[in-house]
Amino acid sequence: MPLFASRGKLAGGAGSADRIPRHSSGWAQVLERMSKDESLRVLDIGPTSSGNINLITALGHSIYLANLVEDAARPEWVLPGDEGAPAGFDVQRFLDAQLNFSGRGFDIVLFWDSADFLPAPLIAPVLDRIHQVMAPGGNLLAMFHSASGPAQSQAMDAVFSRYHLTDTTQINVQPIGNFPLRQTSTNRQIEKLFAAYKSYRFFLGKDNLREVIVTR
């Protein structure tokens, strides 16, 4: 179930696994906006931390939390098929339960690499729902593991992680495991996912992650 943390309120937690520092051009762009604009509404899609919430609220913004990968892994969303075999995913019920924002709209969405770990039938509907609740001019930060080339084998070994924010261009990546990488996407596939949005900009990192800043 989604949670809301208003400015100054503490929520969430963090594990003790080692954190790996990583330069993030996408986060740098989001942080620049958050440092200049006031009272933004931020949606964090992923396993957040108290540190993330403290940083965002200290900047004067509100944050709403939804760990979709963990929520989607629960068996209650699987539709039974013939003789009890899985037949699909109950997409609409999931959206209504996990992405019901009670009329709230958002200026910033931290989507991270959720698309690579969500069940495939959920990806496009989730991004469509997020599009509906983003304010015009809002920004979404997403990451995608490489789908081809030498980095593909590295991508397939990717571990589900928590992304710890800092007040610099660095984020600290904390592997927490538990959920398998379900798919990777080409640049063209990523572009199609964000076809309803106004624009997008790719940032190529030195590792196997591509970052995308999308504008509503």
How high is the pLDDT of residue 204?
Answer: 80
How high is the pLDDT of residue 70?
Answer: 94
Two structure tokens written together for 59: 């900047």
Q: Is 94 left (phi over 0), alpha (psi -120 to 50) or beta?
A: alpha
Distance from the first to the final alpha carbon of the chain: 25
For residues 192 and 185, give the distance between their C-alpha atoms in angstroms, rounded to a whole number: 10
Whether 155 and 180 have beta carbons less than 8 Å apart is answered as no
* In the predicted structure, residue 11 carries a pLDDT above the cut 60: no
Q: Write down the CATH number for the domain with range 3-8+18-215.
A: 3.40.50.150
Rg (CA), the chain: 17
Two structure tokens written together for 53: 């919430």
Put simply, whether the predicted model's pTM sits higher than 0.75 gets the answer: yes
pLDDT in tens, 62-83: 999 999 999 999 999 988 876 6
How high is the pLDDT of residue 76?
Answer: 92
Residue 84 φ then ψ, to 5°: 80, 0
How high is the pLDDT of residue 48?
Answer: 86
> What does pLDDT average to over the chain?
86
Sequence spans of domains, the chain: 3-8+18-215
Residue 211: which of 168, 176, 169 has the closest Cα?
169
pLDDT in tens, 19-48: 999 999 999 999 999 999 999 999 999 998
How high is the pLDDT of residue 157?
Answer: 64
How high is the pLDDT of residue 7?
Answer: 38
The stretch 143-157 carries a mean pLDDT of: 62
* In the predicted structure, residue 2 carries a pLDDT above the cut 60: no
